[in-house]
Each structure stands twice: as C-alpha cells, then as structure tokens.
Structure 1
C-alpha cells in the first residue's frame, strides 16, 4: 500500500460511511517541508486499512509528520 494525499484519503472516507480516521502508527517522523516527499512511499498492508496519508503536526519540539489511515475497524 502506498501513502496517498489527504484529499484522496478523505474521498475514500466519504465513500465508506462506516470507516473512521485513526493513527497508522505512533511514531513521529521528521517533517521534510512538503507532503510530496511522502506521497507514493510504500507502507506495509494491514487488514481493514483502506488508505494511508500523512498530516503535518507541531508540538514544542517543532513540526513533525504523523502517519494516519482510513480504517474499517
């Protein structure tokens, strides 16, 4: 499964009314500066995961990347 854009993931979320948004993993990854750096990267397939996307977040240590998913569970 590849990381897709957030807008494409939200379309998938809208197409499946019983889906929900969740964190794909608990890690914090360095923010490179663009979403384009992450889109298309391969991630392991998990049962029930429809789409994987990234979000930019920030805490007191600075900006980081959070890997999110659209899931059926």
Structure 2
C-alpha cells in the first residue's frame, strides 16, 4: 500500500459552529488511530475523539458503545 500520492497532506480547516465527533478503533489496520488523533488535534476544541478499544471499522463495531458513551456523558 505504498502508492505515490498526488494529494499532499494539508492542514484541516473547519469554519462551522457545530462540534465534531471523530471515531476510530484503536486497532484498525486500514485507518490507524493516530490519523484520527492528528485530525482531532488540528480541529481544536470543537473536535472530540471517541476511541474504541477494539479491532475493525468503528462504524460497524462500536455503534452500541458510541451510543452508550454519548448517552452517559451529558
């Protein structure tokens, strides 16, 4: 997967007012957790990173955990 890229990395810019929830699995080989951590850092205080301590895609494996977390963290 070491293909050359034509889209060089750039800083994220978010100008919206809504808070952002980023989610990632700690052990997802396709989208490493550090990518989400860097995105959250770049987005600043409007971003929150929800980390699922498991394997695979967050959207499919952590859906129930995310619902539980968001409903208990008010």
TM-score (norm 2): 0.25
- Choose between structure 1 and 2 for higher RCO, CA contacts under 8 A separated by at least 6 residues: 1
Structure with the higher fraction of residues in strand conformation: 1
Structure with the higher fraction of residues in helix conformation: 2
Higher CA-based Rg: 2
